[in-house]
Amino acid sequence: MSVSEAGDLKHRLAGWKELIVLVDSVLAWEKEFYAALVSCSLTLLFIMVWYMDPSTLTLLSLVGEIAVILDYAVPRLQAKIFPDSAWSMENEKRLDQICQELLFVKNGMYRVYALLMGYKHSHPLMFMSTTVVALFLIAQIGAMFSGFFLTYLAVLVVVMIPGLYRRGFLDKYCSGLMLRFEEFVKAKKLE
């Protein structure tokens, strides 16, 4: 993880910096009620989508439209709502930390991918059999539960992880798994 990589990411997120710091504080549960706010908002969003029951193409279209509109509007509205004089050194440090954490996650995902591809080349039969069994188990789970429900659970877990991590719940209840994951990602940092 290089300083230039973090600086490049920070530069690309400059139009979103106020919103990113705000979202980070909500996802990290800086206030007690943020965990309930996050889970309730996500649940309400999924209930609305479930109630509308759009086709996959319509849903992807709507998500794309919302993304394009936000990409256009947020930097322009941020400049009007949050003046540059309100941006403090504390916010700048938080944005730096957020960029470092995002790069940490990106590098961790790249490391997992590289590990899997290395395993595929070194043990192709074992890789194929493990992958087939894992995909079969996932297919069985998908047959028992709705894909929409599984998507809801996956998204809920992903948005709750920052708060669980910063509050120490992951260390407390998943310490062995977290230790292995941190060693795995730190090994990438050392390379």
Please give the share of the chain, as a percent, with pLDDT higher than 70.
94
Which residues fall within 8 angstroms of residue 54, CB to CB, at 6 or more apart?
Answer: 62
Contact 184, 111 (CB under 8 A): yes
Residue range(s) defining the domain that contains residue 60: 3-190
Which residues fall within 8 angstroms of residue 20, CB to CB, at 6 or more apart?
Answer: 13, 95, 98
pTM here?
0.77
pLDDT digits (tens, 9 = 90+) for 102-153: 998 898 899 889 989 998 999 999 999 999 999 999 999 999 998 899 999 9
What tokens appear for 159 in the block? 């948005």
Measured distance CA(49)–CA(44) in Å, rounded: 9
Q: Burial of 87 by CB count in 10 Å (0-12 exposed, 13-18 middle, 19+ buried)? A: middle
- Count up the domains in the chain and report the number: 1
Measured distance CA(184)–CA(181) in Å, rounded: 5
Cα dihedral sign for 117, 119, 124, 126?
negative
Quickly tell me which residue has 């930390």 as its tokens: 97
